[in-house]
Amino acid sequence: MNDFSMITREKGLYFTMPIFRNCLRTAVTNAIKCRNLNAVAATDLGNRSLAAETSHLAVIRRRYDARDCTVATLTPGAGGTWLVTTNIYDGTTPRLIRTETTGQPATAYLYDALGDTVATVRSGITTASETRHENIDGTVWRVDTSSTSCGGVTNAVSTTRRQLTGLSDALRSQTVSIAPDGSATTEQSSFDPQTCELTTIRATDAATPLVTVSRFGRTVERESPRETVFNYFDQMGRAAYSEARHPAAGGSLYWRWSQYDGSGNEVDYGTDYFDHDTYEYLS
């Protein structure tokens, strides 16, 4: 058996062809000859050394180093040229510190002492992120902050606080997000063990809140300033009936029902939305 093989698929058939043992660490696909092509090479230890898969519309080449990290990706450009994306790593570690693409500004990646990404720099614009924990009135919150800065000026600051302690069924989760424009969005969820319903309330500033009620992972009620929607499901968890009502007057706005066969396929449905008649699927 060859250490290197190339598997191609054409019209549902698979073909295996040998690849020279000392070939370049480059995966090449040619859609003119086949629909899908995978090139795989293995070292003497059995480790994967390269792999590539592309659609039938492109030829892509990837090069890897001894650590199996991608160091270059070549994609076709205009006029027969190649667009080359080069990855630069920190010494012998797989930590990516810089990415360069033909005709585009380079991107640099900054890390903290723990090795986590804290910022990216591109065209002199730094996009930074920070995660910390705060104790507010005995409650621990996780705080995620992101900002954009250029020329010593920092703007576009957004902050998200997520409550970690002091939670119960009455307050399953609580998140407060402050957007760069200063608007604050609060999202709270509570759980009723009697009805097994999870209620989520989301409000931005003084706007009318959006209320969502779910049961076993499926939304059964959704209330917004425009409408209130009720969803009903059968024993298999399939949508059986849905009705939208006016949030203030309570009148029906539109509804939809579905009927399924023994295999779970929808074979019939009806709706009065836009005064449409009942439709049937052709089986």
Query: Is 70 exceeded by the pLDDT of residue 75?
Result: yes
Residues 6+ apart with CB under 8 A from 256: 241, 242, 243, 269, 270, 271, 273
Give the pairing type, strands 4-10 and 13-18: antiparallel
* pLDDT tier at 254, thresholds 50, 70, 90: confident
What's the CA gap between 235 and 233, in Å, rounded? Answer: 7
Average pLDDT over residues 28-49: 45
Look up the domain containing 68 and give its range.
1-89
* Amino acid 188: pLDDT: 98
* pLDDT tier at 57, thresholds 50, 70, 90: low
User: Is 283 or 184 the better-scoring residue by pLDDT?
Assistant: 184
| Residue bearing tokens 């809140």 | 209
Q: Name the least confident of 54-63, 219-228, 232-241, 248-257.
A: 54-63
Does the residue 157 lie in any domain?
A: no
3-state secondary structure of 78: helix
pLDDT in tens, 157-198: 999 999 999 999 999 999 999 999 999 999 999 999 999 999
Does the residue 62 lie in any domain?
A: yes
| H/E run at residue 98 | strand 96-101
Does the residue 264 lie in any domain?
A: no
Average pLDDT over residues 49-53: 45
What's the CA gap between 254 and 274, in Å, rounded? Answer: 8
* Amino acid 80: pLDDT: 82
Whole-number percent of the chain with pLDDT over 70: 76
User: Is 42 or 99 the better-scoring residue by pLDDT?
Assistant: 99
Does the residue 49 lie in any domain?
A: yes
Does the residue 137 lie in any domain?
A: no
Does the residue 1 lie in any domain?
A: yes
* pLDDT tier at 39, thresholds 50, 70, 90: low
The tally of domains found in the chain comes to 1
Return the DSSP state at 195: T
* Amino acid 51: pLDDT: 42
* pLDDT tier at 273, thresholds 50, 70, 90: low
Task: Indicate the pTM of the whole model.
Answer: 0.63
User: Is 27 or 209 the better-scoring residue by pLDDT?
Assistant: 209
Does the residue 26 lie in any domain?
A: yes
pLDDT in tens, 2-20: 333 343 344 333 333 444 3
Does the residue 46 lie in any domain?
A: yes
- For all residues of the chain together, what is the average pLDDT? 80
Query: Is 50 exceeded by the pLDDT of residue 214?
Result: yes
Q: Name the least confident of 16-30, 60-74, 115-129, 262-276.
A: 16-30
